[in-house]
Structure 1
């Protein structure tokens, strides 16, 4: 027995290197940004980019820059025995588990035992399966979504069923955010070990995603975004919170000197940053700064800068419908062609295919 409710973005279906900017050239044509336009866009970016207080900067400032809209949010109730296959298809899932115990397995990795109230986030969007019995033939989630379109069948949740709520995000959008590179392939927060906020948010997601007796999907997009941010924040702070969370060790965002560099990159992405200028900003040698930055962020400083610029450019192209040249002007590349090549180098696809 299965029922599912979901919502997609308009026009979507359920299945569907070097960061250095070249020197800017004077005397651009009238088709490019005039001074007033550039100033307005710079102000827009300044409002959108997080500002990190230094030296008392906190991880919240970094995590708040993770703002994504799900391509799809859903709720599905499965019977007492099930096995569901979820292909990657360039989508990143955030799940809230409800009801009976079950398991999630990514590739050939050991399966994770999931219980009611657990939250699972797969930042890489790897293919995986969810099951109560691994010996059952696997059903395709895409087929379940397709067959459930327009369905009016609903079932009451019970302890014999597993109810999953959550959303799918476009992997290319998350991959463009540099903080995502520091996350493990699976982030699993266990409700039994978590603070009360996790249980409260998980309950709220389930209610909002319920299109029969709950919130009918209203507000679930915003709540899923907040849940993702708090899940990442809890993972970053897990030593001090005493919260066992599955995943490799993450960046130490209490390092005030690194936060100085992050603040500069986030607040002024279009500046002609170099490894030397960022190291000097942190009062560190170039080698010591580069080593410490990579150890904490899993990216070199210049890779982080490139990812942040491309993340901002992707949002401007998608949300503001700017041209490549306009987006390049805003984030620190001298031409749209250079931005497009950097985008392809970092994310493996051209901007025109990702917007």
Structure 2
């Protein structure tokens, strides 16, 4: 049982991200090489299997050497450059250089796109070192690399599932190690705002008002509204609406629930009002999401 409000909110947010991950390349380089990756509408990541390389990207202070087991993610699809590591580049490991570099490359998308609180809270570039990610992270990364080397039925499905789990571990590692959290992670670092986030995530159907949320935080309405918006970069009632819509997107996958029932389950007394809000925030109606037309790019 999770009693820590931070854990409860983070797990509910990660459970509701509607994440799709796909391994798209298994690459091997030798000698001098360079790859320019353009900006994309989806997230991208690279897991170094063997050897080492250099990454250059917006959000980094300069070129960074990546080693075997390291993961680099670009949650917002930022363009970046990968190249061979210079012979004089500093390395933290004592493992011998195999003379080549291998890496798994993948893409990920969130089915509710930019309205996802986890995505909004992540920076342009996240690096998780094999030596810092913990035993579970290192073990899962090794299984992912090993699976990529095998053939057989179900290989792609296994790779995608393992990569999704590695992404979740990387996000959890980032939340504990980041010295400058933003968005959802910044809000969870403030005990008063964390209480409000816990309530919103646990009971989105309640008739929340600014006054109720401020009382829960133990603050005046004006102070609460300013603090919440400063940390999460979005007003409290807008965050509530977006969280409800993210839950609605998930519930729409259950065809036994009508749109009216989903609206009522999330605290909306009017189905038309819910439909209007859903389309305004996602750019697509609930019926089209149910029909499988949603692509996660509101």
Q: 1:330 to 1:168 in 2, by over 3 A?
A: farther
Q: 1:159 & 1:222 partners in 2: Cα distance? A: 28
TM-score (ref. length: structure 1): 0.63
Aligned residue among 93, 104, 110 for 2:44: 93
Matched, 1:211 2:150: yes
Q: 1:125 & 1:173 partners in 2: Cα distance? A: 16
Give secondary structure in 2 for the equivalent of 1:185: coil
Q: Deviations over 1:183-216 (max 9, x none)?
A: 2111111224443333222112212333339983
Q: Deviations over 1:287-313 (max 9, x none)?
A: 222233234333332232232122223
Moved more, 248-257 or 263-272: 248-257
Alignment of 1:1-355 (within 5 A): 53=3, 56-59=4-7, 61-67=9-15, 68-80=18-30, 81-106=32-57, 110-132=62-84, 159-171=98-110, 173-212=112-151, 216-217=155-156, 219-238=158-177, 248-250=180-182, 251-252=185-186, 253-317=188-252, 319-320=253-254, 327-333=262-268, 334=270, 335=272, 336-344=275-283, 352-354=293-295
Q: Deviations over 1:310-341 (max 9, x none)?
A: 22233334x33577666544444532123201
Structure 1 residue 268, shift from structure 2 partner: 2.3
TM-score (ref. length: structure 2): 0.74
Q: 1:219 to 1:208 in 2, by over 3 A?
A: same
Q: 1:276 to 1:77 in 2, by over 3 A?
A: same
Q: 2:190 & 2:180 partners in 1: Cα distance? A: 19
Q: 1:120 to 1:306 in 2, by over 3 A?
A: farther
CA contact (8 A) 1:63 1:233 kept: no
Q: 1:105 to 1:210 in 2, by over 3 A?
A: same
Structure 1 residue 64, shift from structure 2 partner: 4.9
CA contact (8 A) 1:290 1:301 kept: yes
Higher relative contact order (CA closer than 8 Å, sequence separation 6+): 1
Aligned-CA RMSD value: 3.5
Q: Deviations over 1:66-116 (max 9, x none)?
A: 144435224412221333343444211233212222223335964433221
Q: 1:91 & 1:84 partners in 2: Cα distance? A: 18
Q: 1:305 to 1:112 in 2, by over 3 A?
A: farther
Structure 1 residue 181, shift from structure 2 partner: 1.4
Partner of residue 92, structure 2: none
Q: 1:292 to 1:59 in 2, by over 3 A?
A: farther
Q: 2:161 & 2:8 partners in 1: Cα distance? A: 17
Q: 1:172 & 1:131 partners in 2: Cα distance? A: 32
Q: 1:353 to 1:61 in 2, by over 3 A?
A: closer
Structure 1 residue 258, shift from structure 2 partner: 2.1
Question: Which 5+ residue runs of structure 1 have no aligned equivalent?
Answer: 1-50, 135-157, 239-244
Give the total of aligned pairs: 268
Q: Deviations over 1:136-193 (max 9, x none)?
A: xxxxxxxxxxxxxxxxxxxxxx823322225312255352321321221111112244
